[in-house]
Chains A and B, each alone.
Chain A
Amino acid sequence: MQKIKEKSIEAFLILCASITVFTTLGIIVILSIETFQFFREVSVFEFFTGTEWTPLFAIKKYGILPLVAGTLLTTLIAIAVALPLGLTIAVYLNEYADQRLKAVIKPLLEILAAIPTVVYGFFALTFVTPVLQKIIPSLSGFNALSAGLVMGVMIIPYVSSLSEDALSAVPKSLREAAYGMGSTRLQTAFKVMLPAASSGVIVSVILAISRAIGETMIVAVAAGQEPKFTFNPLQSIETITTYIVQVSMGDVPQNSLEFRSIFAAGITLFGLTFILNNISYWMKQKYQQKYE
């Protein structure tokens, strides 16, 4: 009797753990089926090389490149902000700040990642853009620049916290050896500690990139809804995520080609982040082994 109870509990637990597998499977299957349907009407070649994306206009064109360009542009701006800032903060917290300061600063910075992204969108649109317009008069009301900058601030803690964890994981003896040979703090930090923690740092950056690519609300609010094949940050653009939101909020009939286009856009997005996540997982496994 007890055996049966134990076995059925175990079966239930396995079932719960399997739900995560079904989720992944569900995502892949659904995106694939609908995308397959989509590609029966749109040529794959046009999709991946076309520079015009106008599914919601009278003359429909399905070239994903403008959306990819918009996504990459905002991501690039965000990383350009988050990488130097996050890395410097990580080194500072690890090498310079005393433990009490670190215990205060780290959670404070992590608040940045806890704020709902729609709030950042609002901030980018109603505060950052008007301020920037005073400096750059040609900046359009919706633009990649302010969305990217704000997104960069949002992902600072991804870089700083995870990199700091990686730096902390470097054996103390290494730092002591560097000091013992007469290195300054700066040399120790950048010539010894950072290289030793490099894979952990790279993992943190990859995760931040993946987060920026998938970010939706900031760009949907502040970057605009005009798919343009451009890398000019002053213009209004559209990202993959914004397009999905745009179609979802509109009155596009389900089962139409326009509606299916969100799955094709979705699978592009999923593919990008999936590759990045797997690289980071694989790297993490490697460097964890190194110090165990």
Chain B
Amino acid sequence: MFRMPSSRVLGALFCALFLLAPTACDDPTSVGGELVEREGAGPQRVELPLDVDTVQYAPITGSARIGESARFLAGQTSGDPLGDVTATGYVDFAPSLSEIDPADRAIDSVQFRVRLARDTFYGDTTQTTPLALYDLKEEWEAAGARADTSLPNTVEPQRITTFSVAPGDSLVTASLPSDWIRRNDEQLRQIADSTFAEAFHGFQVRPVDGGESVAGFLSRATTLRVVFETGGDEEALEASAPLTRQLTTIRQPDPQQPKDRYVIQKGTGRALAFRFDLPDSLRSAAVNSATLVLETDSVLAETGSDYARPRFSQLDVYDVTDDSLALLSGNRPQAPAALALSNDRTRFDVANFSLSRFVQDALLGTSDIERFQLRPGPLTRVLRVPRGSEGVNITSLGSALIRRADGHRPRLVLFYTSTE
């Protein structure tokens, strides 16, 4: 005899059926596509030239913390197609970490020792870089100081000595003259004492006329070495004072723009600014992909193969509004936005930030970014400055030449989907 199943069982059975049924065996295809598809519904590609301006800023080149990557520059160029540069280094020393007691020993010699940073040598490599040392007579500020800093009354007019650096050099030693040693005898004897830092204010490393290159030095390896005379059978006694602060001031009074090139350069603070020049026809487009393309060129006809011109591989991206300038955020926290060189090193087009998002905001009119600025990178650290956040680079004159001839101009490659 048939027995009526309970309504609960029936209910559960059908509920399960209803829940599972929609997920079973659905196979959507293009059937019906003619009824919904329009011409141009798929993504489209367009290349839009960027509205580029050249800008110049004063990079942060001073530091009171000497890290591994710290550099200071000194030297000058003449006939540089990018514009002649004069770089002047300022260095000050911390007390020696060696505990010494020179007692009544006389000072035998004092040396200013520097180690060349080969990746920063800039200019004519066939000639040496003549440099001169000058005393600094008063305390000076290095932390956060910029390349356009002036220290007019800080430098003693009397030159201490000169020395030269060749591109192939490693360690370079400038022996200080005996009269300078005699004048500073009291301070040098206290080289391991904290009073040394208060009494001695360091050197200016200035280019000597006639130089054709700028040398960069490893700050961590720069020392002031004092050697005391040996007395009798006593062992030699010496102490080295490391750098405690540094600054490089850089002047480029007449920057040049080679034909069909934009110049981006560290040290001199030459950068590019741009805004998206977006046509009204794209105002309601949905952005699928956006890529900035800046073609680079290492060749300059005005300089031969003996002219060293360090390049860099990354541009840092800033957003600029009316009253602020700040590093743009990258995709990852703590990693500001940057545009890196492609693998074949022919163009900057590898972004680590969501450019699509910014372009979309610009298209929608919801962005408050006035324009973007591209500065040389990479960063060694980020400083908070009154107008926003700013990056600090390794001090150098590294440069990039950005092509601007027709067909090679900086551009935005956009893949978008029309929303009409």
Bound together: no
